[in-house]
């Protein structure tokens, strides 16, 4: 195992990785921007070095500065967390060139799966079903129009290098497709330096289901079952749960085995997530993409399976085999995660930077158990420079109702002051009949916005 690990990230993920590294006897070094040097999350690391100014482009996204910091502090490996450079093939390659182990898959796998169409081609070769659409990248808007007429409206044009909803447009007719094609391509070019697009049939009211996989360099791969991530706004996840209420036991076993086989066929090493869209009309799970990193929502998988995903990441990066076989993996109970962000959901999810004056979540409430993954303490400042995530509240119960009841009790008893948060939205969703029944989809946020009495 590595003696020292450099964590090329900040905030909650830095704290999460450091916790497991410490349990494995690994010293941790972190890089922080000038704006973060006094943040409470840095105290969870054994050593902290300043990367540069507050702007991410001059600190957390500065590849050379990160590699130099890792080498100068005697680190043997680099963990990229999620976001920032976690799926940057150039960063992974740069680490390798300087004798640092990148905790993740190879640069070639990151590059292949980072572009949507090559990843779909790899998935198809592994036997995963794809959403009907173009056979490759579109060469012109006229080609897109002709294909849309064949497969039927509505359709989605998507950026090959896209993410987070950027470079994506829903089109209902030829006029909107011609407009959307130009907008999506320009947006993708500006955001990713790549304006290439492909087209898919738009699946209305679909369910976003993802499978956690682990692989090692010895050709072994397993799945840790699935997570449901359909509660989203602008393609950003708000609430996740495991197992998915939409899958039966037979479908769960089949899609898990398919995802693990796809990882094995790719020669995948590390933690990854194979994402699917469930078509409510046919019941088919269509492959969407593969995320070649640790996911924000991995804790609900850990709570139901008992597997420390970060520990497995570190072990296989150090050259060890996976510590478990597929027959060793079993899921128990139900887990749900709410992402608590410093945003005002009543004001279009406007970010609310400022000083957190109170920050406490009760952990001994409800019939289940509570886990709070956070990097924030009272007195910390929420910076406008970075992601607005304050905490992930994870609850586990023997049943889905127990997990949801425990979550509601925890959030109702939470004390977070100084900045507006998404807690009111989470409570509204948890109380909504559609979410409670498990019949929700990506089409809307159940229970939000709240129905108000017009007479009041």
Mean pLDDT of 193-217: 95
pLDDT tier at 452, thresholds 50, 70, 90: low
Residue 70 φ/ψ, nearest 5 degrees: -65, -45
Peptide bond into 190 cis (omega under 30): no
Instruction: Report which DSSP code applies to 90.
Output: H
Q: What is the pLDDT of residues 399-451, one digit of tens each?
A: 999 999 999 999 999 999 999 999 999 999 999 999 999 999 999 999 999 87
Which sign, positive or negative, has the C-alpha torsion 296, 301, 302, 307? Answer: negative
Non-local (6+) Cβ contacts of 348 within 8 A are none
Q: What rounded mean pLDDT belongs to the chain? A: 95
CA–CA gap between residue 363 and residue 54 (Å, rounded): 34
The DSSP H or E segment spanning 5 is strand 4-7
pLDDT for 455 = 40
Q: Determine contact, residues 15/327, Cβ cutoff 8 Å.
A: no
CA distance 413 to 11: 24
Q: What gap in Å lies between CA 322 and CA 222, rounded to an integer?
A: 9
Q: For residues 228 and 208, what is the distance between their CA atoms, to the nearest angstrom?
A: 6
Q: How far is CA 410 from the centre of its chain?
A: 23
Q: Which helix (H) or strand (E) holds 6?
A: strand 4-7
Please tell me the total number of residues recorded for the chain in this structure.
Answer: 456
Dump the DSSP string for 194-246: ---EEEEE--TT-EEEEEEEEE-TTS-EEEEEEEEEEEEETTEEEEEEES-TT
Predicted pLDDT at 124: 86
Q: Which pLDDT value is given to residue 387? A: 92
The answer to whether residue 379 scores a pLDDT higher than 70 is yes
Could you tell me how far CA 215 lies from the centroid of its own chain? Answer: 18
Residues contacting 16, CB < 8 A, separation 6+: 81, 310, 373
Give residue-wise pLDDT tens across range 50-88: 999 999 999 999 999 999 999 999 999 999 999 999 999
Q: What is the pLDDT of residues 309-347, one digit of tens each?
A: 999 999 999 999 999 999 999 999 999 999 999 999 999
Question: Which tokens is 399 given?
Answer: 């049943």
Q: What is the pTM assigned to this prediction?
A: 0.94
pLDDT of residue 161: 86
| Closest of 287, 312, 293, 221 to residue 24, by C-alpha | 312
Q: Please report which confidence band the pLDDT of residue 165 belongs to, taking 50, 70 and 90 as the band edges.
A: confident
The pair of structure tokens assigned to 373 is 């993954």
> pLDDT value at position 166?
87
| Cα end-to-end distance, the chain, whole Å | 63
pLDDT (tens digit per residue) in 250-259: 999 999 999 9
pLDDT of 99 higher than 50: yes
Indicate which residues carry an active-site annotation.
293
CB contact at 8 A, 202 and 156: yes
Q: Which residues pair with 118 in a beta bridge?
A: none
Q: For residue range 81-92, what is the model confidence (pLDDT) as tens digits?
A: 999 999 999 999
Cα 88 from chain centre: 15
Residue-wise pLDDT for 270-283, tens only, equals 999 999 999 998 99
Yes or no: say if 272 and 290 are a contact pair by the CB < 8 Å rule.
Answer: yes
Note the pLDDT of residue 454.
46
- Gap between the Cα atoms of 185 and 196, Å rounded: 6
- pLDDT class of 453 with cuts at 50, 70, 90: low
Q: What is the mean pLDDT of residues 231-248?
A: 95
CB 202 within 8 Å of CB 132? no
Judge whether 232 and 425 are in contact, CB under 8 Å. Answer: no
- Residue 157 has a pLDDT of 97
More confident residue, 125 or 4: 4
The helices-and-strands tally (H runs, E runs) of the chain is 13, 22
């Amino acid at each position: 195992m590595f003696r020292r690990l450099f964590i090329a990230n900040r905030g909650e993920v830095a704290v999460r990785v450091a916790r497991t590294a410490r349990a494995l006897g690994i010293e941790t070094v972190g890089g922080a921007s000038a704006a973060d040097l006094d943040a409470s999350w840095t105290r969870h690391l054994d050593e902290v070095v300043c990367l540069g100014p507050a702007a991410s482009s001059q600190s957390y996204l500065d590849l050379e500065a990160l590699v130099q910091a890792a080498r100068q502090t005697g680190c043997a490996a680099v963990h990229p967390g999620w976001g920032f450079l976690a799926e940057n093939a150039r960063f992974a390659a740069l680490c390798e060139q300087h004798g640092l182990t990148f905790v993740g898959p190879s640069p070639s796998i990151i590059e292949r799966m980072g572009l949507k169409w090559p990843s779909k081609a790899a998935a198809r070769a592994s036997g995963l079903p794809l959403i009907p659409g173009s056979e490759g990248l579109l060469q012109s808007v006229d080609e897109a129009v002709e294909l849309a007429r064949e497969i039927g409206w509505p359709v989605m044009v998507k950026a090959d290098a896209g993410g987070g909803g950027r470079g994506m447009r829903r089109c209902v007719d030829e006029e909107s497709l011609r407009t959307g094609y130009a907008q999506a391509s320009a947006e993708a070019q500006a955001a990713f330096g790549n304006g290439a697009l492909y087209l898919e049939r738009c699946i209305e009211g679909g369910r976003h289901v993802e499978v956690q996989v682990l692989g090692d360099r010895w050709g072994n791969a397993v799945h840790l079952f699935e997570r449901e991530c359909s509660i989203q706004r602008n393609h950003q996840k708000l609430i996740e749960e495991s197992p998915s209420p939409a899958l039966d036991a037979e479908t769960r076993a089949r899609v898990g085995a398919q995802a693990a086989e796809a990882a094995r066929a790719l020669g995948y090493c590390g933690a990854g997530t194979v994402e699917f869209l469930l078509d409510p009309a046919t019941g088919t799970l269509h492959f969407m993409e593969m995320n070649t990193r640790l996911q924000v929502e991995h804790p609900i998988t850990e709570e139901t399976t008992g597997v420390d995903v970060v520990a497995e990441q570190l072990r296989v990066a150090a050259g060890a085999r996976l510590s478990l076989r597929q027959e060793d993996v079993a899921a128990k109970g139900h887990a749900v995660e709410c992402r608590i962000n410093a945003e005002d959901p009543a004001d279009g999810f406007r970010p609310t930077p400022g000083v957190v004056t109170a920050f406490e979540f009760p952990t001994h409430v409800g019939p289940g158990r509570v886990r709070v993954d956070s990097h924030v303490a009272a007195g910390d400042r929420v910076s406008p420079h970075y992601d607005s995530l304050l905490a992930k509240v994870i609850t586990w119960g023997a049943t889905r109702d127990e997990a949801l009841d425990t979550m509601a009790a925890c959030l109702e008893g939470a004390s977070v002051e100084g900045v507006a948060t998404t807690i009111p939205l989470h409570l509204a969703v948890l109380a909504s009949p559609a979410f409670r029944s498990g019949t929700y989809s990506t089409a809307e946020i159940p229970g939000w916005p709240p129905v108000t009495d017009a007479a009041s």
